[in-house]
């Protein structure tokens, strides 16, 4: 019987990548909550498996050679799980290359740009000393839009991001697109992107993945809790 994977997680787009993958691959897992607003990511025990103090991370008790292995970085986790199960990574070398390049596109492009977009539009204006920075807001809003146009163009000729098959590239990208409205984007001129979002969103495993920890994500914080979370996450008072 497969032993459960230990998942160190908080319900964010990077965390959702892994819950979606685990659900899609039918792998059992135990969730260990890493409340990033309370600083759990800096705990010494967590840093032993995630030295960059970021979640998600996993420990697979049945790693290579049947020995436990810990892995941090969501893209690396997705690649590992795909290799472990032989699923969602492409059936040929050309398909695997396509999956890898779009996974890297998300890791190096969409994730950082959409993340900065979210920070400067949502968080920075709410700091104790409000930081309303039009240049930063415009830069990251525009770069997010550019990346979404790239994605829409790719999806004009492909059912899924890497081709006609669903892969870990879709699992990595889709969670970041869910907040397109909060990123101040439009789908009106991106019909292929909108079609793909709906198609992935219909998958039971995608729905189950983003439901993990929904109650924590939707919990209403007091002003004091928000200020403390900002101090911890951004190194300053909220």
Token pair listed for 198: 């709906």
Average pLDDT rounded to a whole number, residues 205-215: 96
pLDDT value of residue 218: 76
Is-contact 170 203, C-beta < 8 A?
A: no
pLDDT value of residue 126: 81
**Positions of E strands within 61-172:** 69-72
Sheet of 57-60, strand order? 29-33, 5-9, 57-60, 69-72
Average pLDDT rounded to a whole number, residues 214-229: 76
Q: pLDDT grade, residue 1 (50/70/90)? A: low
Residues 47-62 pLDDT 10s? 999 999 999 999 999 9
- Supply the pTM of this predicted model: 0.93
Residues 115-152 pLDDT 10s? 999 999 988 888 878 888 899 999 999 999 999 999 99
More confident residue, 229 or 194: 194
Of 61, 55, 66, 90, nearest in space to 3 by CA = 61
Find how far residue 20's CA is from the centre of its chain. 10
What share of the chain in percent tops pLDDT 90? 83
Which residue has 């190096």 as its token pair? Answer: 108
Instruction: Determine phi and psi for 198, rounding to 5 degrees.
Output: -65, -40
The SS3 assignment for 129 reads coil
Alpha helices for 26-73 (secondary structure H): 44-47
The DSSP call for residue 163 is B
What share of the chain in percent tops pLDDT 70? 96
pLDDT value of residue 6: 98
Is-contact 181 159, C-beta < 8 A?
A: no
pLDDT at position 236 over 60:
no
Burial call 138-151: b when 16+ CB within 10 Å, e when fewer: eebbebbbebbeeb
Domains in the chain with CATH codes: 5-87 (3.40.30.10), 93-202 (1.20.1050.10)
């Amino acid at each position: 019987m497969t032993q459960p994977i230990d998942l160190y997680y908080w319900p964010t787009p990077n965390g959702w990548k892994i819950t979606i993958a685990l659900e899609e691959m039918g792998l059992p897992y135990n969730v260990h909550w890493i409340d990033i607003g309370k600083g759990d990511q800096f705990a010494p025990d967590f840093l032993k498996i995630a030295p960059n103090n970021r979640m998600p991370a996993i420990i697979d008790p049945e790693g290579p050679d049947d020995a436990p292995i810990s892995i941090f970085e969501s893209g690396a986790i997705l690649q590992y799980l795909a290799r472990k199960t032989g699923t969602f990574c492409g059936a040929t070398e050309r398909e695997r290359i396509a999956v890898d390049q779009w996974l890297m596109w998300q890791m190096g492009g969409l994730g950082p740009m959409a993340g900065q977009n979210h920070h400067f539009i949502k968080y920075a204006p709410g700091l104790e000393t409000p930081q309303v920075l039009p240049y930063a807001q415009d830069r990251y809003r525009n770069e997010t839009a550019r990346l979404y146009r790239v994605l829409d163009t790719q999806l004009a000729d492909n059912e899924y991001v890497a081709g006609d098959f669903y892969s870990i590239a879709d699992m990595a990208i889709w969670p970041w697109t869910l907040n397109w409205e909060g990123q101040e984007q439009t789908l009106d001129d991106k019909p292929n992107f909108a079609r793909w979002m709906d198609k992935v969103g219909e998958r039971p495993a995608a729905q189950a993945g983003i439901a993990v920890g929904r109650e924590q994500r939707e919990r209403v914080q007091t002003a004091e809790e928000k200020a403390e979370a900002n101090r911890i996450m951004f190194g300053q008072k909220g």
